[in-house]
A and B are shown apart, each in its own frame.
Chain A
Amino acid sequence: MIDIKNLCVDLGDFVLRNVNLTIDEGEYFVILGPTGAGKTVLLESVAGLYPIQSGEIWLRGKEVTRVEPERRKVSIVYQDHVLFPHLSVRDNITFGLKMNKARPQEIALALDKVIKLLEIKHLLHRKPGTLSGGEKQKIALARAIITEPELLLVDEPLSALDPETREGVQQELRQLHRELRITILHVTHDFEEAIALGDRIAVIGEGLLKQVGTPEEIFRHPNSEFVARFALTKNIFRGQAKKKPDGDIVFSIDGTDFVVATGAEGSCRASIRPEDILISTEPIRSSARNCFPGTISRINDKGSTLYINVSVPPEISCLVTRHSFEEMGLKEDKKVFVTFKASSVHLF
């Protein structure tokens, strides 16, 4: 549906190089990357709003690389809404239809449809300056979808919102995608947002596309330290993988051997997700191949959950619920055991 081929964009400080992406019709595609990675510029390039140095952009089988933005049928929603401050909510929403010379009846019909979908009828006569952040985002979405674009670009749509409103707008995005079957390209720096919304995710960083895959693939099988860190994998180790005489493959680090399920021998990295590690005060008898004693070196309280760092060595970060934390009476310098399956260790 949308093909980005060898796209290069000059961002002043650095160049976004050789971006190759194929997004399917009706897909919810998320580009995940840190601030300043060129995500917004990538969106603007797709919309025709930012000059690209080289490469091609294809929409539904047509090359649009040099096509004017107003002829691409691509709408954009920015993080801070960017509503037209001098126009009422109604005029903001219908702006695109008026520009496309739609008849008044068509405008009324289309307006009716989006105000029902987003439940914004009561806001129509207001001016953007009087709306809350969540309301503004809804209006920006309404304005973008009313023209029935072939592709909807959303730039960090949840970042400027408080947590509760964020949840609501996230639901709305999911609903819009489901009901309108619209193709969405969404950029964010928030991993959880990407996991929650994306059919597929592309991780972008250091001017390059690092990995493209389903949320599960990015989450479980990051292909680089950059992606692993972005996917909030706290445990990333550099060590040696080798085959033992009994046939087991182990990953050695700081004198400790993790038994792993698959992987090649040699120097590599290993990642283990903190939620895949069990922490206990006694050794656990289970099928898990890895069980090590250690001492709690640090506790990072996140409210309902806590990250517990256990020095085996190496230092391994585990995620526990507050309930388990209190039940086991965990505290710094306490002796504990960490247990995880061989299949939880991902080598790359």
Chain B
Amino acid sequence: MSVGKWIVSHRLTLTFLLLGAIIFLFVVVPLVKMLLSSVSEPDILWETIMDPEVTGAIGLTLLAALIATLFGFLLGVPLAYLLARTNFPGKKLVESLIDVPIVVPHTAAGIALLFVFGRRFFLGEAFSTLGIEFVDSTAGIVIAMMFVSIPFLIDSAKEGFKKVDVRLEKVARTLGASPWQAFFRISFPLAWRSILAGNIMMWARGISEFGAVIILAYHPMIAPVLVYERFETYGLDYARPIAVILIFVSVVVFVLLRTLAYRGDRQ
């Protein structure tokens, strides 16, 4: 076959390859460029890594996102199960509302949260009497992250539960399993991969949150806020190393977890 014919017969693949390459490079080039620029100035990078404010901010980011994910898991999985298994009036509306945080500008989400969890609303006041404050506190960071990232977990878990044949639960029930046992022995383990993927997505989205967090809790400072502050105060050169470390840590953990989840899938 001549090269001309080969090109003609692979027109679709080649066109899509070209378009795909553009978007892939669009994502990858800025990340790689930033990494390389930082590596070319190892002194600044090292200094940044050793800066307790930076390590503290990164640690807080990872931890707050983890706590948000844990709460999301405990509260989101039951809702995901209900949405997958039951029909009720207004179900579509509930599903749409759950996804609203994805489309709302996150600064607006932060302001909405401030209204509810600030002391001016009874909920914030109730928590305040328990000693939990949401303004300028880790708790505030957690709820901001949770609000913007919970749709990822609920949607993924819901799809996971939908894929589990409801008759598996029915058979389990006839064999003596209570609804709880049928859930924990059958549905939950079978939907686990999707739930885990949802958890990873939620955690990753939590780490990257900036807009909602900065409204509720500028301090203590999470890494994205620190990047912003250094950029505003000292300029690009001082912001970049933190961004690099943050991206590096996120990517490593994200890839690691995804790999674990996929390996489980293949088994």
A residues touching B (Cβ–Cβ < 8 Å)?
A: 44, 47-49, 68-70, 72, 74-76, 78, 82, 84-86, 95-96, 99-100, 143-144, 147, 149
By the criterion CB–CB under 8 Å, are A84 and B170 in contact? no
Determine whether the beta carbon of A86 is less than 8 Å from that of B190: yes
B36 touches A (CB below 8 Å) = no
* 30 A–B contacts, CB within 8 A, in A order: A47-B174, A48-B173, A48-B174, A49-B170, A49-B173, A49-B174, A68-B178, A70-B175, A70-B177, A72-B174, A74-B174, A75-B175, A76-B170, A78-B167, A82-B167, A82-B171, A84-B168, A84-B172, A85-B190, A86-B190, A95-B175, A95-B177, A95-B185, A99-B172, A99-B175, A99-B181, A143-B175, A144-B174, A147-B176, A149-B174
Instruction: Give the size of the chain B interface in residues (CB under 8 angstroms).
Output: 17
Give 17 A-B pairs besides A75-B175, A95-B185, A96-B176 with Cβ atoms closer than 8 angstroms.
A47-B174, A68-B178, A69-B174, A70-B173, A70-B177, A70-B178, A74-B174, A78-B171, A85-B190, A86-B189, A95-B175, A95-B177, A99-B177, A99-B181, A143-B171, A143-B175, A147-B175
Task: Tell which of A47, A68, A82 has the most Cβ of chain B within 10 Å.
Answer: A82
Measured in the bound complex, the distance between the Cα atoms of B165 and A96 in whole Å is: 18
In Å, the complex CA distance between A315 and B171 comes to: 49
Chain B neighbourhood of A68, CB < 8 A: 173, 178
A84–B181 alpha-carbon span in the complex (Å): 14
* Cross-interface CB contact of B168 among A44, A72, A82, A144, cutoff 8 Å: A82
- Please report the C-alpha to C-alpha distance between residue A72 and residue B165 in the assembled complex, in whole angstroms: 22
Set of chain A residues within 8 Å of B173, measured between Cβ atoms: 48-49, 68-70
Shortest C-beta distance, B87 to chain A (Å), equals: 12
Interface members, chain B 202-255 (any A CB < 8 Å)? none
Judge if B186 is at the interface, Cβ distance under 8 Å: yes
- Which label, helix, strand, loop or mixed, suits the secondary structure of the B interface? helix
Chain B residues, CB < 8 A from A149: 174
On chain B, the residues within 8 Å of A70 by CB distance are 173-178
CA distance A70 to B181 in the complex (A): 11
CB atoms of A44 and B170 under 8 A apart = yes
Tell me the bound Cα distance from A82 to B167 in angstroms: 7
Q: Chain A residues with Cβ under 8 A from B165's Cβ?
A: 82
From 154 to 205 in chain B, residues with beta carbon under 8 angstroms from any chain A beta carbon are 165, 167-168, 170-178, 181, 185-186, 189-190
Q: Which residue of A lies closest to B169 (CB)?
A: A49
Which 7 residue pairs spanning A and B have beta carbons closest together?
A96-B175, A99-B176, A69-B173, A100-B176, A99-B177, A49-B170, A82-B167
Q: What CA separation (Å) do A69 and B181 show in the bound complex?
A: 13
Complex interface: chain B residues within 8 A of A75 (CB): 174-175
Q: For the complex, what is the distance from the CA of A47 to the CA of B169, rounded to whole Å? A: 13
Q: Which of B176, B178, B186 contacts A84 (CB 8 A)?
A: B186
Q: A262 → chain B, closest Cβ, in Å?
A: 46
Q: Are A76 and B171 in contact (CB under 8 A)?
A: yes
Q: Which residues of B contact A48 (CB under 8 A)?
A: 173-174
| Residues of A with C-beta under 8 A to B190 | 85-86
Most buried by A among B172, B175, B185, B189: B175
Q: Can you name the residue of chain A whose Cβ is closest to the Cβ of B190?
A: A86
Taking CB atoms, residues of chain B closer than 8 Å to A74 are: 174
A113 to B212, CA, bound (A): 62
Give Cα distance in the complex from A49 to B181, angstroms.
16
Q: Which residues of A contact B177 (CB under 8 A)?
A: 70, 95, 99
Which residues in A have their C-beta under 8 angstroms from that of B185? 95
Give complex CA distance A100, B167 in Å: 20
- B residues in contact with A78, CB < 8 Å: 167, 171
What distance in Å separates the Cβ of A274 from its nearest Cβ neighbour in chain B? 39
Residues of chain A within 8 A of B167, CB atoms compared:
78, 82
Are B186 and A69 interface neighbours, CB within 8 A?
no
